[in-house]
Amino acid sequence: MVGMTKQALAVVVLAAGAGTRMKSATPKVLHEVAGLPLIGHVLSTASALEPDHIAVVLRHERDAVAAVVDQFAPDALLVDQDDVPGTGRAVEVALAALPSSFAGDVLVVSGDVPLLDSDTLRAVLDHHRTQGVGATLLSTVPDDPTGYGRVIRDDHGDVLRIVEHSDATEAEIALTEVNAGTYVFDRGALTTALAAVGTKNAQGEKYLTDVMETLRSQDVKVHAIRVEDDWLLQGINNRVQLAEVHAHLNAMIIRGWQLAGVSIVDPSSTWIDVGVELAEDVEILPGVQLLGATQVGAGATIGPDSTLRDTVVGPRARVVRTHAEGAHIDQDATVGPFSFLRPGAHLGPEAKVGAFVEIKNSTLHRGAKVPHLSYIGDADIGEGTNIGAGAITANYDGVNKNRTTIGAHVRTGSHTVFVAPVELGDGSYSAAGAVVRRAVPPGALAMSVSSQRNLEGWVEANREGSPSATAASKAQSGKNKQ
C-alpha cells in the first residue's frame, strides 16, 4: 500500500515567487513578522520536525533569499527553479535534488505561511502514514475564499481534485472549502504523477494541485484534513495580510507571556518579537516594543513608551520612555525618561541614566549616575560617580574615537566637557563649565579659569528699541534714582 508507515521525511519549501503584490524591493519571504523573516518562521518549523532533508526552491532574488536560508537551515538543499512556471515544476526540481535513495514522505510547505506550526504538521504526517494514502493536504474554510483553489471531494469524502479559482466553474466557485497549499506525498507516487501533469490551464503553469486528480486516476487515495483555525494557514501576498498575520502572532506571543507570569497592561499597544525572553513578574506598561533578542529579568518594569532591541535588562530594573539597542542594563538600574542607549551601553547595578541622556559604547559601574541632558560616548565611569547636567564626552577628534575614563566617586559640575582621551582620578571634582583636556589626579578639582567681563551699556547701544534694551533702560533708571 502506498505510504504505509515510512518515517523518512523530506520537507520542500516553496520560495521562488516574485511576490509582486507586496510592491517591494525586498523579496516577499524576507519580510519580517515578529522579528523573523517569513521564511525564517517556516524553516524553524520545518527543522522542528527533524526531517532527513530540507529543500528550498529559489528563483526571485535567489542570492538574497539563499543567504537567509543559510542562517536558519545551513544544511538545506538550495534548488533553483527553471523557466517552467508553477508550483508543480518547483516541487519537481526539488525532488530531483533529493538523493535517489530517499523513498520517504515529502512535505511541501510555502515560504510565506509563517503561522503554521509543527504540531499541526505532525498531525498531518501521522494521518498520512496511518491511512496509507498517496497524498494528504490541508484545507480550510475562510471567510472569503476568493482566489483560492477549491477542494472537490467525492461521496466518501476523499479528494477528487483541486480546481484553481481561475479555472473553476460557477458551481465549483460556490464551494467554500479551499486548498491551503500544504501537502504530504509519497515520493514515488508524487514523482510519477508530476511527470503526467501539463500546463493546459488559465495561467499556463504546471500546477502541483493537478497531482491530486492524476493520483485519483491511478486509483491512489487523496485525503484532506480540514483546519478550523484558518489563520494558521494564512499566506501573505500583500502588506495588509502581512500586518494581519503579525497582529495575530503578536497576540499569541503576548498571551503566552501573560500565562507565564508577565504583566502586560495594554496588549493592544505592546509588541514582542519571538526571540524575546521574559522572566516572571516583569511588568510591561503601554506603548512598549521588545524586539530581537531582548531579555528582561524578574521584577523589572519596562515602559511606558519604550523600545528595546537586542537589550538585556536585569532584575528589578526600571526603564521609562527609552530607546535602547544593543545595551545591557544590570539589576536595580534606572533609565529614563527620554533616554537613548546605543550599542555597547552597559549600566551596572543601581546605575542611573536620566532624562535626555545618550549613552554609547560606555560602562557605568555600580551606582554611577548620569542624571540629565548629557552625551556619554566611549567612556568608563566608576562606581558611585555623579556626572553633572549637560556633560559631554568629546570622543571624536575627526579621525579616531577616543575614550574617557572617570574614576570612582567623582563629582563633575554642570556643563563639563571631557576632551578624550582623558582620565579623571578617583574622588576628583570638576567645576561648572570646565573643559577637561588633561588628566585629573585623584582628589583634585579641575577648573577652566577665565575672568568674567561685563560690557556696560552694550544692549542699549547694539539692540536699540528691543524689549531687552527697554527693560535694561528702565532698570538702570530705577537704579539711578536710588
Q: Annotated catalytic sites, by residue?
A: 372
DSSP 416-452: -EEESSEEE-TT-EE-TT-EE-S-B-TT-EE------
* Residue 163 exposed, middle or buried by CB count within 10 Å (0-12, 13-18, 19+): buried
- Residue carrying the nine cell digits 503561522: 115
| Start-to-end Cα distance in the chain | 115
Rounded Cα distance, 15 and 76, in Å: 13
**All cell numbers assigned to 117:** 506550526
Rounded Cα distance, 346 and 312, in Å: 9
Rounded Cα distance, 87 and 212, in Å: 13
DSSP label at 287? S
The CA-CA-CA angle for residues 104, 105, 106, to 5°, reads 125
Q: Residue 166's CB: how many other CB atoms inside 10 A? A: 10
**All cell numbers assigned to 344:** 555597547
**All cell numbers assigned to 66:** 539563499
